[in-house]
């Protein structure tokens, strides 16, 4: 019998029973594909769970839809990281989107996801999608005032993603957005990764005029409590327009819905205290 444990802190972890395992060592990280009893196929990078077939919809819907709903007409979207393809799949549910770019540093993550996670990577070959195998930090050096929405679907701020949680990088994101542009970033667990969370949100606040942090319940992520942050220089993130709710009616989702959107920024007091 095989069991896998992700050590989420030095003192606690998530343990799952595994049917089969495959490991690949890429230029950037150790990639594991586990076939688990409870969560289906699971993608693990350098020991950290990235996504699972059973609960991936929560993370991908919650990263993509709030930003795409809030933007008045998102046509050009960039996902940085996200080589499994789940965020791109959600982006393409918005009919206004004409171009969806994916910038993933590790080609092996894309290859493995296409082979083992077809329900997640299913839209990566869509003609609206262009895939760039590059470091997101360098990629943005050449992109100015181009995107309507940029989604940061990154692994933890250690290893290849470390620099992409700093204000110099968020400034590049801001410069790559055109008028009314919105960024959405995964900003870690405010419960078990308090410092990562506080640091990421505080860096974002230094760069953008408007911001709003929200949470989702994701069973396989540390503490099951995960955060995301929207930011913009032009769109007042905390204000709602009636037209935003019209767009939600036509979306096919399993977690994200109008009730979640209405109360998106109602977060627990201890979480808002961390980012005051
Ligand atoms: N849902 C995930 C989470 O929060 O754990 C994120 C999943 S996604 C697989 C993260 C991806 O970011 C990985 O495939 C990793 O290779 C990619 N990545 C890390 N650093 C990057 C960088 N500098 N540029 C582009 N992609 C990067």
CATH (domain of 45): 2.30.140.10
The answer on 82 and 11 residing in a single domain is: no
| Pocket flag, ligand 1, residue 213 (CB < 6 Å) | no
Same domain, 42 and 62: no
Q: How far is the CA of 84 from the centre of ligand 1 (A)?
A: 9
Is 153 a known active-site residue?
yes
Number of domains in the chain: 2
Of all atoms in ligand 1, which is nearest to the CA of residue 43?
9
pTM assigned to the model:
0.98
Q: Is 29 annotated as a binding residue?
A: yes
Q: Is the pLDDT confidence value at 184 over 90? A: yes
Token pair belonging to 129: 């999608």
Task: Average the pLDDT over 121-140 and give the result.
Answer: 98
CB distance 55 to ligand 1 below 6 Å: no
Does residue 154 sit in the same domain as residue 30?
Answer: no
Q: Is 171 in the same domain as 72?
A: yes
32 and 78 share one domain: no
**Among 188, 190, 187, 164, which Cα is nearest to 176's?**
164
ipTM (interface pTM): 0.98
Instruction: Kindly state whether residues 181 and 223 are assigned to the same domain.
Output: yes
Closest by CA position to 235, among listed 68, 78, 9: 68
Bridge partners, residue 18, by sequence:
2, 36
Least Cα distance to 99 among 130, 135, 56 occurs for 130
Asked whether residue 231 falls in the same domain as residue 257, the answer is yes
Q: Are residues 155 and 82 in the same domain?
A: yes
Find the 168 Cα to ligand 1 centroid distance in Å.
18
Q: What angle do the packed helices 167-176 and 194-207 form, to 10 degrees?
A: 50
Chain segment 58-88, per-residue pLDDT in tens:
999 999 999 999 999 999 999 999 999 999 9
H/E element, 79: strand 76-81
| Closest CA to ligand 1's atom 16 | 106
Kindly state whether residues 116 and 238 are assigned to the same domain.
Answer: yes
Q: Which of 6, 25, 103, 155 to mutate to test the pocket of ligand 1 (most atoms within 8 A of CB)?
A: 155
* Phi, psi (deg, nearest 5) at residue 73: -155, 75
Q: What is the mean pLDDT of the chain?
A: 97
Please give the pLDDT value at position 262: 97
How many Å apart are CA 195 and CA 165, to the nearest integer?
12
Same domain, 37 and 65: no
**Cross-strand pairs, 4:** 16
pLDDT of residue 90: 98
pLDDT exceeds 90 at position 1: no
Task: Show which of 52, 71, 88 is a domain's final residue.
Answer: 52
Ligand 1 center–CA 1 separation, angstroms: 30
Query: What range does the domain containing 7 cover?
Result: 2-52
pLDDT tens-digit readout, 31-42: 999 999 999 999
Is any atom of ligand 1 closer than 6 Å to the C-beta of 164?
yes
Smallest Cα–Cα separation from 204: which of 230, 181, 235, 225?
230
Whether residues 43 and 168 share a domain: the answer is: no
Question: Last residue of some domain: 52, 72, 94?
Answer: 52
Q: How far is the CA of 256 from the centre of ligand 1 (A)?
A: 22
Same domain, 25 and 113: no
Contact between 73 and 241 (Cβ < 8 Å):
no
CA 18 from centre of chain: 25
What tens digit of pLDDT does each residue of 97-113 get?
A: 999 999 999 999 999 99
The DSSP H or E segment spanning 199 is helix 194-207
């Amino acid at each position: 019998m095989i069991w896998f444990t992700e050590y989420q802190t030095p003192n606690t972890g998530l343990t799952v029973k595994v049917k089969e395992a495959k490991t690949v060592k890429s230029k950037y990280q150790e990639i594991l594909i586990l076939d688990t009893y409870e969560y289906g196929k699971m993608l693990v990078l350098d020991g950290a769970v990235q996504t699972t077939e059973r609960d991936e919809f929560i993370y991908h819907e919650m990263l993509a839809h709030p930003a795409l709903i809030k933007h008045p007409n998102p046509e050009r979207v960039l996902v940085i990281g996200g080589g499994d393809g789940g965020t791109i799949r959600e982006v393409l549910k918005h009919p206004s989107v004409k171009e969806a770019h994916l910038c993933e540093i590790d080609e092996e993550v894309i290859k493995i996801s296409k082979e083992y996670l077809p329900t997640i990577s299913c839209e990566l070959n869509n003609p609206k999608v262009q895939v760039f195998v590059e470091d997101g930090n360098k990629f943005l050096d050449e992109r100015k005032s181009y995107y309507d929405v940029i989604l940061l679907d990154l692994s933890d701020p250690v290893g290849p993603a470390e620099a992409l949680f700093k204000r110099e990088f968020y400034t590049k994101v801001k410069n790559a957005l055109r008028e009314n542009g919105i960024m959405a970033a995964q900003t870690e667990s405010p419960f078990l990764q308090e410092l990562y969370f506080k640091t990421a949100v505080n860096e974002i606040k230094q760069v953008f005029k408007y911001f709003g942090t929200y949470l989702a319940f994701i069973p396989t992520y540390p503490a099951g409590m995960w955060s995301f942050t929207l930011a913009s220089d032009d769109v007042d993130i905390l204000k709602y327009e009636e037209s935003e709710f019209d767009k939600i009616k036509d979306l096919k989702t399993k977690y994200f819905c109008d009730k979640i959107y209405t109360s998106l920024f109602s977060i627990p007091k201890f979480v808002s205290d961390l980012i005051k």
